[in-house]
Structure 1
């Protein structure tokens, strides 16, 4: 702003911007501008699975002074993020989050930091970088002699405590966390199911349009839930779920089943709360598990979908959860809020499991409900 000011006296004032020893504003701006000019030469490129033309950007050569300042700020943020990622790649333990597949980036805004409980924020940050005082870390830091789990006696790192302890599994700790996350997700899907309005209510009329004018476009059904109005839902909570016998007879129990008898459609949702590095593995396993049931429903004349969804045990929803909500018709801010609530529920449950990692699980977890 000072260098490119319209006022000649401001431009020639020679104002020096005070910055740190490791970062200088003038050099950062110079590098950012060089990268932006180079981007004009390269043009728009494809990102991930998106085709050409899906991602557009304003050109540096055609931008106004205000737009250029905005572009420089964004480019400097990208430069800092690239340097952070480069540093994280060299860290064997604290950089393992780079191996998470199918997990979208999660932005932790200042507003979220100020409103988040201090213990939850501490758990979130330390668990991502694996610096919590797990038995393995305590031995590494010289504060303990044995890295054994207090419950099962096996060597215990953070992954063991949150998702791999056999004693915790047999005690029902992981099942308790799974049910809390499932209840939150089922509540949002039930609200979306009830929000569907009757589409064939009352007589239909022909809307005439004058010559040369365009009529109002018919509203398309939003997602699978928008294709019917008689959806019913069952979730594997409190009591054992029984798959609707009007569809087929099976012993398998998906976590959530939605079905419409009028349109002969059935949707199965299967939730997993795995360690983040095993999200893709969990997705493939659950998809294969319910593939036979999906085929059986199709053979009996039902249009069937099976959506395996994953929420990492540290509160990172996988891309499969975003896709499932979109396919069902939960989009926009409603989807964003729903996934945020599910992530927060997972964090809170995992935080409680972390606190109780050395205690017996005899009904004490009921106190947090």
Structure 2
């Protein structure tokens, strides 16, 4: 494009052809990209999600010049290649299962993270996402095992069964241990956020200037998160000892994973963590909300401002949308949010990898302490 659209007449008319290989031709890719861009110009801006028309303006290809025009074509070529990859993955029932994770957050691994990570951790993460780990079900499919049955419960030993569905592993406390490892990391992140909110100084009220003849905007400025509304937040976590829900709020035998309370403002937040298979994140969210719906209503009837939030972290290390929603509610943002998310996902991966390694062995608490 630089040769073709050059301001120098001799360069533009030289007919320079860039050779790029047998499987991909630059000239053909540019021609398709320019056609797609012209079509988008004719269609115009379209609504996306709940945003109104024109909320996401796009640069027009017919008005772009030089560098901006080349950048638009490059972006279009990348988008076309990504569409081809995605359509190929959708057609794969096993390796393309991640394309159906509608309620899981997208995750990117940088080169720096890959460089610092242990090779076995990266290998487990990639193989678990594409479900190509040597589970008994896969080995039987590949002709390398006589039976696909799980060594613990004699059911089909798929990766989903090993990490999330084995009744024998559930009875032995393996999944409870896995859940507590993630809960510990989540609780640490919230404790840091509580301490940080207590150390913050209340910002001064700013003065807003308006033009002559205009009306002042009566809408209040965006306030901080829930943690900034009080200085006496207390966090109770169901780790080690059995958590008892505060009797002065509501008598109940239920045990949420975390209870966040503020006596001065009479606020209570019930936080429930689930570590499901990524395909069942939405089901887990609905189930947990329904479980604590009556308790939340009773707390409100007793004069407390109560809310129940469910957090889902996929057992392969992919966070559900609910995690970002809860962190936004608590005003955990920026670098603090990135660090908390990284710690939680790493704890999930590490615990899942330990479950995988000990999938056919007897369960022992000393092994879990040594492994994690």
- Whether the TM-score (by the shorter chain) exceeds 0.5 is yes
Q: How far does residue 2 in structure 1 lie from its aligned partner after superposition?
A: 3.3
Separation (CA, whole Å) in 2 of partners of 1:175 and 1:210: 57
Structure 2: which 5+ residue stretches go unaligned? none
Three-state SS of the structure 2 residue aligned to 1:61 is: helix
Separation (CA, whole Å) in 2 of partners of 1:338 and 1:208: 35
Contact 1:230 1:262 in 2 (8 A): yes
Residue 242 of structure 2: which of 240, 243, 249 is its match? 240
From the superposition, tell whether residues 181 and 5 of structure 1 become closer, same or farther in structure 2 (CA, over 3 Å): farther
More deviation in 325-334 or 42-51?
Answer: 42-51
Contact 1:221 1:227 in 2 (8 A): no
Separation (CA, whole Å) in 2 of partners of 1:88 and 1:209: 54
Contact 1:264 1:302 in 2 (8 A): yes
Separation (CA, whole Å) in 2 of partners of 1:7 and 1:209: 52
Q: How far does residue 84 in structure 1 lie from its aligned partner after superposition?
A: 1.2
Q: How far does residue 12 in structure 1 lie from its aligned partner after superposition?
A: 4.5
Does residue 367 (structure 1) correspond to residue 370 (structure 2)? The answer is: yes
Separation (CA, whole Å) in 1 of partners of 2:330 and 2:30: 45
Separation (CA, whole Å) in 2 of partners of 1:220 and 1:322: 18
Q: How far does residue 181 in structure 1 lie from its aligned partner after superposition?
A: 0.9
1:12-31 Cα offsets, whole Å, 9 max, x none, are 45444343432222211221
- Indicate the residue corresponding to 2:187 in structure 1: 186
Q: How far does residue 207 in structure 1 lie from its aligned partner after superposition?
A: 7.8
- Indicate the residue corresponding to 1:144 in structure 2: 145
Q: How far does residue 70 in structure 1 lie from its aligned partner after superposition?
A: 2.0
Q: How many residues align?
A: 367
From the superposition, tell whether residues 24 and 224 of structure 1 become closer, same or farther in structure 2 (CA, over 3 Å): same
Structure 1: which 5+ residue stretches go unaligned? none
Q: How far does residue 208 in structure 1 lie from its aligned partner after superposition?
A: 11
Equivalence map 1:1-369=2 (5 Å): 1-197=2-198, 220-363=222-365, 364-369=367-372
Three-state SS of the structure 1 residue aligned to 2:187 is: helix
Q: How far does residue 168 in structure 1 lie from its aligned partner after superposition?
A: 1.3
Q: How far does residue 205 in structure 1 lie from its aligned partner after superposition?
A: 9.7
Three-state SS of the structure 2 residue aligned to 1:50 is: coil
Three-state SS of the structure 2 residue aligned to 1:190 is: helix
Separation (CA, whole Å) in 1 of partners of 2:117 and 2:155: 34
Contact 1:4 1:11 in 2 (8 A): yes
Separation (CA, whole Å) in 2 of partners of 1:22 and 1:59: 30
Three-state SS of the structure 1 residue aligned to 2:197 is: coil
Separation (CA, whole Å) in 1 of partners of 2:166 and 2:206: 64
More deviation in 178-187 or 89-98?
Answer: 89-98
Separation (CA, whole Å) in 1 of partners of 2:160 and 2:211: 68
Name the Cα RMSD after superposition. Answer: 2.8
Three-state SS of the structure 2 residue aligned to 1:193 is: helix
1:283-335 Cα offsets, whole Å, 9 max, x none, are 10000000011101100111111111101111110111111111111123322
Normalising by structure 2, report the TM-score.
0.90
